[in-house]
Structure 1
Amino acid sequence: MSGARTPVRSAERGTARPTVTISFAGFNRAWAAWMGDRLERNGVRVVYLRWDAPPEVSLPRLLRDLMLSEGRVLILVSEWYFQLGPRSHEEWNAALREVVAPDPTRFAAVSVTNAPLPQAVSVLSPANLTNLGADEAERRLFDRLDLPYDPHANGVDGRRGPRFPASMPEVWGGVPRRNTRFTGREPILSDIHHVLQSAEPGAGVVSLHGMSGVGKTQLATEYVYRFGSEYDVVWWVNAEKRVTYRRFLAELAPKLGLQTGQEYGERLRAVRDALRRGEPFSRWLLVLDGADEPEQIWDLVPTGPGHVLITSRNPEWSEHNSRLLEIPVYSRDESVAFVRRRAPRLTETEADQLAEALEDLPLLLDQTAGWLNDSDLSVREYIALLEGGIDSDVVKVSADFPVAFQTAWSILLNKLRETVPESVDLLRLCTFFAPGFIPVRLLRDLPGDELPEQVAGLVNDPLLWNKAINQLRQYSVVRLESHEASLDEAATGDSLYLHRMVHQIVHKDMPEPERTEFIDVVRRALAAADPRRPTDTRLWPTYAEIVPHLKYADVLHTPSAEVQQLVLNCLRYMFLSGEYRAGTKLGQRALEAWRELLGETHPRIWDLTYHYCNLLRANGDYAGSERLNRHATDYLREERGTQDLEHLRAANGLGGDLRGLARYEEALELSQWVLVAYRDQLGDQDSRTLNALNNLAVSLRLLGRYEEALDTDRRTWEARRNLLRARHPWTLTTEFAYALDLRLLGRYTEAESVQARNVDEHRIVMGADNPQTLYAEHNYAMCLYRSGNRDAAGPMFASILERGERVLGEVSPTTLVFATSQSCFIREHGDIDLARELSESVVARYEVARADNHPFLAGARANQALILRNVGEREHAHALLEQALTDMTAALGPTHPWTVGTALNAAALRNLTGDPESAELLSRATVVNATESLGRTHPLTLSTRIAHAADLRNLRDRRQAEKVEQEALSDFESTLGRQHPHTISARSRIRPYWDFEPLLT
């Protein structure tokens, strides 16, 4: 009666093939996939049947239903197979004796576990596959099924099969330990697998979205273990913060065998490129855990032939090429099964009651069932406590949290206090860090004599520390699977993960005396972790780790000078690293808090004002920065005198504010005075003197005095290389400024050479998306464009703008520079409608952010007029250009390069609108002004000369037009070369135009 060799006709081949139905628990899917693949390669037809055991259906009936399957039934034996339900071993023994024993040959079995199993499993005679290599496991599989096999069979298509489950993927990192209590979620796991496997290359991205505590991370972990054998690379990354995401993704580089330097920005680029190309591995899985802010990291999500799995509380991932899967709370059957596995002493009815009371929330079920199993408290008594039998002053933390969660936590905390009270102390300390990954190692680095006795005893006693850690782990309050720590750190609890919900409830439920004591400990720990060198980019990861915790440690309301210095250093780091918006918020809160704490004129107020104003200026709030800096400058001059160093620092900052407000002459005068004062006080080679020299060059550049700016930047660059180092951020800034001066002077080849190297150095030192790096890349793109390499420049303009908008926002002064250049480029070489839309947005933003007479607004309108000209709206373009020319002349005078460029364009529009005489008068004057400002052979001057020749020709003064044109062409060829696009255009008598480019101040 055996059905082991029942022939089944193959529709494809017309031949009989044996059929095997594999019955497996979802937990062991990788084993089932491997076995099925080996069977199919040897001509066996395989049917996969995941074993589900609904509690309402009896085991004998389920086993009889299994016998209806085709061919022989192969049961994959593991503890998971018998735990589904869950049912007792006695129930299983009875069912196996009743159904299997009468016809044992209908079944076959293999075992992949050494765990205790129901005794009656022996009727299945399972072949043991544990602790074997792939070849021996395969031999035993076929032997148990009485099937012949070829160990070298590759199947018909020669495809690569699943990896042997007992072997790991070639690259594996950061994955949390598997939760042996994982329960249910089978449909969701199947959906994830189906979506990823059926996705087109580059689109295999799934986001698991759901409320806190619903088990997204546990689900992702189970997916990795269940399907990991299908991949060559499995890499788990903490994605809660951009900086940690970048760093840990970059750590994949050496695992992939990529040859890179030590800088993680370089490694990150290499990793993303390798994953995109699928070399050296095309089957990769990347898990981004806790990615709650898509706008921070979506651009860094790799594309390519592999798969990406994201866990997030934020549904906005659906807007970033990701399939969103909503993760609900447990179904009641899943809750009951999980509770009984977590707390075996509870009956099925009690587990159901507990699940209902806790609203099927996995995190809460895990924590509560864990301690209930060790408690004498009955479920009925516990539920009575939940319903109001405890103290009535339970704090309601958030409408997002079930009331049951808050009450349950009060009960659990009482349990922890009774057993290991130090675990509650540690837990409360953790809540003065930000939720998520908590670097508790910082606490252990503090000297014991600086700690309160209660905390010192915990931190300095390794046995007590580990006892507290283990108590919190036992009840799933924290976990040790730290993606930021080494295995050794995880083993000693030096970095913990505290769930957001737990963090909030514990923080609220804390006596005031302990709150005061614990927050002081955390503040001191953060201050002790301060590297005290925010200008050193190698230390930025440390500051990136510290900054998120400042808010929770309430560092702004302490008189501690050490903590206040930490705040100042973090503000400096945030300015240098480009965290302008977050830094501005911190600076504003700090100024309000410190004025109240320290007084309006405390020396630290002036330190804070300096850092805060830098951030305000970077965000484009020049008026706000100017008010603060002017107040500081006036007060310090009055109280300490003009030569006081803090007064000079404030005055130097005020110069930057004046430049932002387009008060360039005032800024120049102030820059010159500050430079002299610093030289008198500190000498030529002090870094503060060189900062003042750098700022003088900025003022000169904005005034169009490019040669003087170049000379000043050359001297600053040389001095900074000697005083600091070639890769110091300030040295790179000056090198960039030098290349910018070269380009503005029309020395495009030299500028491109310097800027190419400078961009590479910026990427290495500052990172690819640092604002300073982006601005350096922009100058490089402009160098390429001005040199005639439009094909290379175009994609760079688009990429720089996209990254600038993402990193800095659409209204940032730096982003507006990028948007201006992109609009000008696509006006001539792309989509004119898109150029118009972008240009109009730039004008609108400048109208809001700048005064009506600001030259940036006039320049943006001049660019907009060129677009209007190109789409045929000549009268509108003419009116807009004339307004721009009037405003630019009033702001900067007739000889400024920006005024010269605006006049060049305005003369062209006068011709187009039928006024050639006025056009010629304007173009003649423009040549004179350009020559005076820039010299006879500057590219802009040459363009004005070509335009003047055209205007003379329009007035039929051909002899003079020819003379002017030939002289200009000769100078074009000697300056830019015969094949430069500007030379070719001039030779073809294509009238030149000028694009306004705003400069950062």
Structure 2
Amino acid sequence: MRNPHFTGRESTLDRLHEELSGSAAGTFVLQALQGLGGIGKTQLAAEYAHRFASDYDVVWWVPAESDLVARASLAALAEELGVGGADSAVAVRNVLDSLRLGRPYPRWLLIYDNAVGPDEIADFLPSGGGHVLITSRSTQWRHGARNLEIDVFDRAESTAFLVQRVPGLDEDDADRIAEALGDLPLALEQAAAFQAETGIGAETLLRELRERARDLFDVFNENPPVGYPLTLATVWATSVVRLRRQSPDAMALLDRLALFGPEPIPLETFAEARHVLGGDFGAILTDTLRLQRALRHLGRYSLARVDTVRNTIQVHRLIQAVTRAELSDEARERARLDVHVLLGARAPIDVDDSDNWPVYEGLLGHVLESRVVVSAQPEVRRFCVRFARYLYVRGDYEGSRGFAEAAIEHWTRGPGAERDEHVLSMRMVLGVNLRLLGELRAAHELDEATLARMTEVFGPEHEETLRLLNSYAGDLRALGRFREATEHDELSLELHRRVFGGDDPWTLMAENNLAIDHRLSGRYDRALELDQDTLERRLRVYGGPTNHWVLFTRNQINRDLRELGEYERSVQRQREVVADYEQALGAEHPNLLRARKNLSVSLRKAGRFAEARELAEQVSEHYERRFSPTHLDTLAARCNLVNDLRVTGELEEARTLAEETRKRFTETLGADHPFTHGCAVNLAVVLRRLGRHAEAAELNERAWRTLSGTIGAENDYTLIALANLASDRAAAGDFADAADRGGKALAGFLAVFGPDHPLTLQCAVNLAADVAAAGRSGDGAAVLEGDPVRRLAERLGADHPVAQAAARGDRLDFDFEPPPV
């Protein structure tokens, strides 16, 4: 990144070093280098980083002109520091925390290059004891940072630079050229490269500059300094005359490169996608020698930087700007269309294959900068839909949502947009993002309207209609409409199997979704059966255990096993899933957070309370940072932590958290959502443990009655509320009523889980105590053969805390964990 021809700026470098190093150790310093584009801010920052690298433990460069690109760069730093992951939003938060705390490195320098303004990068700025150096054209930094305004070279610096770069150039000619170019560093660099390559004399260069100086191409026209004589466009125009004469192919390539982003462009974009374009430019791409000659000419005139090691080409943003300005409207749109088609052709179709993700990552900045969403070409719009899906599959829900909304805004401007297949497909993607981001009602409304329109336009068995059919059931589940979701998904799976076949990825998604429905309805054996079939088929389709969809199913199977009472088996297998997630997707992808939460529940059920509590707290904190406080997954994580706090004896902490979480559930999902009542059941257990059994009974009674009507009396959520209500009655001394309710709960557990499930046995333990206390015999407890305390110890192990509590005669509790929907 350092410019080997860097010249001058010694006093500026000294001042910058004094500003950054002069503060007390451990003090955060935010320093902005402000000035016009092309004035040398980036080169100055790079030189500073090189000269004073020994002052720091970490030096990192962040391209800051786009929030997505900046996020990706900080995510890469997070990986280097060991705190990152595939989910860029979480990785950014982690790396900012790491820098703030100075762990593992207290001395760091971050350089944010080409920042638009303070507001655009506010969320990416760290704090702590390090230094931040910003380069920007904006003047707003003087209000929020130490500001160092960078001026053009002084004349001595300009002449020294030109003499060094151009063989045989004397100082007088260098002085005149510097005068004509206004001492602008980037213009000096281009002029020197042009002279060195072509051998053009100083007089000829100066004459052409005078004759071709056109303010029309002034790329600094947003805020030109007073008295600035010429612009970068002058040098570009002079160079391009030679380029157009010597290589029209290179000029055609430059026209297209100007419409990409300013980041390096993979040359595979042209080589692998060359057959998708026709016309003159397509002919250039299909001829390898012509393309190589064009690339060589661009590099020769310093109009592009070809990196043969990384196999990329890069054009400076200012050259891109003046190139775009030179094009006629017709030529610009023709070139833009070529760029859009090339990007779409470069991107693999299957975004679910993680091997394809690096290709999409490399296209990220170019997709945004080239404004692919404005295209009306069907193949480009299909690519846009794939790109939006890639973003959310990768875990960047916010980026995917913004991209989808921008596309929809453009695509719905013309007539007939409401029936356009690409608009409808992108709305489906947007609906997924809304649900993933916790905007459940908005997602449902959008998906319901889109599904109706898709059914009308495409028909009920069209590929896109069936895909949205899958997604819509997720909205129903999130809103607590479990029965509707089950009916919906049974129909969906039948249609998918008939239209696509059993092994199609979308059929497997439908099967996965039906398993979720059965899990929410308490039919865990059926859920496990479906999940195991899905796993077998996904392994055939995706080829390995670490594909993200395979991991998703493995995670679900371990949840099924736990709910079926296989606690220890669930723990061992879930540890493997978490490790595989970390390796495949990084430390904190949203799906990994779910897997870690799943593990924490299994640990608690297996009796490893301390480990479960520690993990649950970590997961809850991560969800709070990653999503909103009212996001469904955040609330589920907090609900889980309530149970861990209770079993570790932290009752007041559990009560406070449970009350706050129940309030959030009520505000977000409504007072009668099954998950709201589930959270109330957890709160009730804590209240009873604190001696407030009357309040606990009220909560459990309401939950039991409501859930009986909404999700069914046989659902295990309903049975858990009833079993806990029996404990509340026993705490009040009404053992007869406790025995009646406990007997009903036991009958329900027997019907759902059978006689050997831990929940069945726990209910039998409590019931036996209530029957004895009520003075009854042969009532309720006789439903199970043998001593339930002994049988529970055999099932869980004698050292399990629940088995030990039963042996002591303690009351056994039942809790609720909201599963993913």
**TM-score interval for Structure 1 and Structure 2 normalised by the shorter chain:** 0.7 to 0.9
Q: Corresponding residue for 1:465? A: 295
Q: Distance in 1 between matches of 2:219 and 2:512?
A: 56
**1:910 Cα deviation after fit:** 5.2
Q: Is the 8 A contact 1:897 1:933 kept in 2?
A: yes
**1:859 Cα deviation after fit:** 1.9
Task: Show CA shifts across 1:469-497 (max 9, x none).
Answer: 34346xxxx666xxxx66363xxxx3326
1:540 partnered with 2:357: yes
Match of 1:432 among 259, 262, 271: 259
Distance 1:550 1:871, change over 3 A: farther
Match of 2:802 among 982, 985, 990: 982
Q: Distance in 1 between matches of 2:345 and 2:608?
A: 51
How do residues 724-873 of structure 1 correspond to structure 2 at under 5 angstroms? 724-727=542-545, 728-829=547-648, 839=658, 842-866=661-685
Q: Is the 8 A contact 1:397 1:504 kept in 2?
A: no
1:186 partnered with 2:14: yes
Match of 2:46 among 211, 218, 221: 221
How do residues 484-883 of structure 1 correspond to structure 2 at under 5 angstroms? 487=309, 489=311, 494-496=312-314, 498-499=316-317, 511-596=328-413, 599-605=417-423, 607-631=425-449, 633-634=451-452, 645-727=463-545, 728-829=547-648, 839=658, 842-866=661-685, 879-883=698-702
TM-score (norm 1): 0.65
Q: Secondary structure of the residue that 2:813 maps to in structure 1?
A: coil
Q: Corresponding residue for 2:140? A: none
Task: Show CA shifts across 1:804-853 (max 9, x none).
Answer: 44445544433333333234324554876765665455445433442443
Distance 1:947 1:848, change over 3 A: same
Q: Distance in 2 between matches of 1:814 and 1:683?
A: 32
**1:692 Cα deviation after fit:** 2.7
1:311 partnered with 2:149: no
Q: Corresponding residue for 2:167? A: none
Match of 2:96 among 298, 301, 313: 298
Q: Corresponding residue for 1:993? A: 813
> Which residue type is aligned with residue 377 of structure 2?
S
Q: Distance in 2 between matches of 1:396 and 1:867?
A: 66
> Which residue type is aligned with residue 708 of structure 1?
R
Q: Corresponding residue for 2:753? A: 934
Distance 1:225 1:621, change over 3 A: closer
How do residues 336-347 of structure 1 correspond to structure 2 at under 5 angstroms? 338-342=157-161, 345=171
Q: Distance in 2 between matches of 1:223 and 1:586?
A: 36
C-alpha RMSD over aligned residues:
5.0
Task: Show CA shifts across 1:656-708 (max 9, x none).
Answer: 33222222222222222333334444554444443332222111111111111
**1:745 Cα deviation after fit:** 1.4
Task: Show CA shifts across 1:96-126 (max 9, x none).
Answer: xxxxxxxxxxxxxxxxxxxxxxxxxxxxxxx
Distance 1:546 1:959, change over 3 A: same
Q: Corresponding residue for 1:323? A: 130
Q: Corresponding residue for 1:891? A: 710
Distance 1:758 1:596, change over 3 A: same
> Which residue type is aligned with residue 601 of structure 2?
M
Q: Distance in 1 between matches of 2:486 and 2:229?
A: 62
Q: Corresponding residue for 2:138? A: none
How do residues 276-295 of structure 1 correspond to structure 2 at under 5 angstroms? 294-295=92-93
Between stretches 639-648 and 531-540, larger displacement belongs to 639-648
Q: Is the 8 A contact 1:437 1:498 kept in 2?
A: no
Q: Distance in 2 between matches of 1:517 and 1:390?
A: 25
Q: Is the 8 A contact 1:820 1:839 kept in 2?
A: yes
1:970 partnered with 2:790: yes
> Which residue type is aligned with residue 968 of structure 1?
P
Q: Distance in 1 between matches of 2:19 and 2:33?
A: 16
Q: Distance in 2 between matches of 1:337 and 1:884?
A: 82
Q: Distance in 1 between matches of 2:625 and 2:63?
A: 17
Q: Distance in 1 between matches of 2:782 and 2:230?
A: 92
Task: Show CA shifts across 1:586-615 (max 9, x none).
Answer: 233334444555643344455445444433
Q: Corresponding residue for 1:925? A: 744
Q: Secondary structure of the residue that 1:600 maps to in structure 2?
A: helix
How do residues 896-907 of structure 1 correspond to structure 2 at under 5 angstroms? 896-907=715-726
Q: Corresponding residue for 1:442? A: 269
Q: Secondary structure of the residue that 2:109 maps to in structure 1?
A: strand
Larger Rg belongs to = 1
**1:766 Cα deviation after fit:** 3.2
Q: Secondary structure of the residue that 2:787 maps to in structure 1?
A: helix
Q: Is the 8 A contact 1:176 1:221 kept in 2?
A: yes
Task: Show CA shifts across 1:788-816 (max 9, x none).
Answer: 22343334333333444444554443333
- Equivalenced residues, count: 766
Q: Distance in 1 between matches of 2:410 and 2:151?
A: 50
Q: Is the 8 A contact 1:395 1:509 kept in 2?
A: no
Between stretches 872-881 and 753-762, larger displacement belongs to 872-881
Distance 1:354 1:177, change over 3 A: closer
Q: Is the 8 A contact 1:332 1:352 kept in 2?
A: no
Q: Secondary structure of the residue that 1:736 maps to in structure 2?
A: helix
Q: Distance in 2 between matches of 1:738 and 1:600?
A: 40
Q: Distance in 1 between matches of 2:454 and 2:685?
A: 48
Q: Is the 8 A contact 2:305 2:315 kept in 1?
A: yes
Q: Distance in 1 between matches of 2:805 and 2:188?
A: 75
Q: Is the 8 A contact 1:846 1:857 kept in 2?
A: yes
Q: Distance in 2 between matches of 1:631 and 1:292?
A: 32
Task: Show CA shifts across 1:197-225 (max 9, x none).
Answer: x66xxx9x987655575866545533454
Higher relative contact order by CA 8 Å / sep ≥ 6: 1 or 2? 2
> Which residue type is aligned with residue 309 of structure 1?
L
TM-score (norm 2): 0.77
Distance 1:906 1:338, change over 3 A: farther
Q: Distance in 1 between matches of 2:641 and 2:187?
A: 52
Distance 1:883 1:600, change over 3 A: same
Q: Is the 8 A contact 1:555 1:567 kept in 2?
A: yes
Distance 1:641 1:527, change over 3 A: closer
**1:996 Cα deviation after fit:** 2.2
> Which residue type is aligned with residue 435 of structure 2?
R
Q: Distance in 1 between matches of 2:551 and 2:47?
A: 47
Between stretches 703-712 and 390-399, larger displacement belongs to 390-399
**1:963 Cα deviation after fit:** 8.6
Distance 1:928 1:963, change over 3 A: closer
Q: Is the 8 A contact 2:344 2:383 kept in 1?
A: yes
How do residues 149-164 of structure 1 correspond to structure 2 at under 5 angstroms? none
Q: Distance in 2 between matches of 1:921 and 1:397?
A: 83
How do residues 38-437 of structure 1 correspond to structure 2 at under 5 angstroms? 176-181=2-7, 183-184=9-10, 185-189=13-17, 209-211=32-34, 217-219=42-44, 221-227=46-52, 241=69, 245=73, 268=79, 272=81, 294-295=92-93, 297-298=95-96, 303-304=103-104, 307-312=107-112, 313=115, 314=121, 319-325=126-132, 328-330=147-149, 338-342=157-161, 345=171, 408-418=231-241, 420=243, 429-437=256-264
Q: Is the 8 A contact 1:817 1:997 kept in 2?
A: yes
> Which residue type is aligned with residue 310 of structure 1?
L
Between stretches 820-829 and 967-976, larger displacement belongs to 820-829
> Which residue type is aligned with residue 594 of structure 2?
Y
Q: Is the 8 A contact 1:237 1:249 kept in 2?
A: no
Q: List gaps (5 residues or longer) in structure 2.
A: 116-120, 135-146, 164-170
> Which residue type is aligned with residue 761 of structure 1?
D
